[in-house]
Homo-oligomer: A and B are copies of this chain.
Amino acid sequence: MRITLLGGTGEIGEGLALRWGHDSDHDIVIGSRDPEKAREAADDYETELADRGVDAKVTGFENTMAADRADVVVLAVPPYHVADTVEAVSDNLAEGDILVSPATGMQRDEDGFHYHPPDAGSVTAIAADAAPEGIPVVGAFHNLAAGRLADLDSSLGIDTLVVADDESAKATVSSLAEDIDGLRALDAGGIANAAEIESVTPLLINVAMNNDGLHDLGVRFD
């Protein structure tokens, strides 16, 4: 399968690109608004994978061209760029393509990090609202610490919660998630259930900030 990571030069994009590159044989496409940055990042990821003996194909393109090539498009951009990014690539999505939203909105105050759901209910719902007719949106990968994901020496052993209103798209993305070693995909229902998932991300940061020895936390449901 061909997976495009829009905003794939950022940390969560890097982590997903390296994990899929390392653990699966999917083709990885890095998208960025700047095609030169996309190509550089793709080269860096290929090099890191090659250094680990993995011959993975990672290419880089400007976002619209990257989306054009994809079966699955991950919106690895900050939450305030999710709607713009979907709109920018709308004409490049074809029937059967799937959008994936991993972003979560949070703010820091003097107490810690807090979830602030947008008016749509969640960032995942923003993506769903912005998506062209017929292109399903799946929420996934919200609660993964980007730095840990991008460090292939770090094992996972954690869960990712997957939500979608399209069961087939949810199954596809759950399967892609489980292609990553140590990641278990759990079904958390429809897009309407995304807020409680996104809200776990600031919680993970608060827990890491307040407990010596814990950092880059993930969550496991037992």
A13-47: CB near B (< 8 Å → 1, else 0) gives: 00000000000000000000000000000000000
The closest CB in chain B to the CB of A216 belongs to B222
Q: Which of A196, A197, A203, A217 has the most CB of B within 10 A?
A: A196
A199 to B115: give the CA distance in the assembly, Å: 10
Is there contact, CB below 8 Å, between B219 and A161?
A: no
Question: Which residues from 196 to 215 on chain A have a C-beta closer than 8 Å to any C-beta of chain B?
Answer: 196-197, 199-200, 202-204, 206-207, 209-211, 214
Whether, in the assembled complex, A147 has its beta carbon less than 8 Å from a beta carbon of chain B, the answer is no
The closest CB in chain B to the CB of A204 belongs to B221
CB distance from A94 to the nearest CB of B (A): 29
A200 to B207: give the CA distance in the assembly, Å: 13
> Which of A52-60, A72-80, A184-192 lies at the binding interface?
A184-192
Whether, in the assembled complex, A103 has its beta carbon less than 8 Å from a beta carbon of chain B, the answer is no
Looking at chain A, what size class is its interface with the partner chain? 35 or more
**Residues of chain B with a CB closer than 8 A to A222's CB:** 157-158, 217-220
A100 to B192: give the CA distance in the assembly, Å: 31
A222 to B111: give the CA distance in the assembly, Å: 22
A219 to B220: give the CA distance in the assembly, Å: 6
A143 to B112: give the CA distance in the assembly, Å: 20
**Residues of chain B with a CB closer than 8 A to A187's CB:** 207, 210-211
22 cross-chain CB contacts under 8 A: A109-B192, A111-B190, A111-B193, A112-B188, A114-B193, A115-B195, A186-B210, A186-B211, A186-B214, A187-B207, A189-B209, A189-B210, A196-B200, A196-B202, A196-B203, A197-B203, A199-B203, A200-B203, A204-B221, A219-B219, A220-B220, A220-B222
Measuring CB to CB, which residues of chain A are less than 8 angstroms from any residue of chain B? 109, 111-112, 114-115, 157-158, 161, 186-190, 192-193, 195-197, 199-200, 202-204, 206-207, 209-211, 214, 217-222
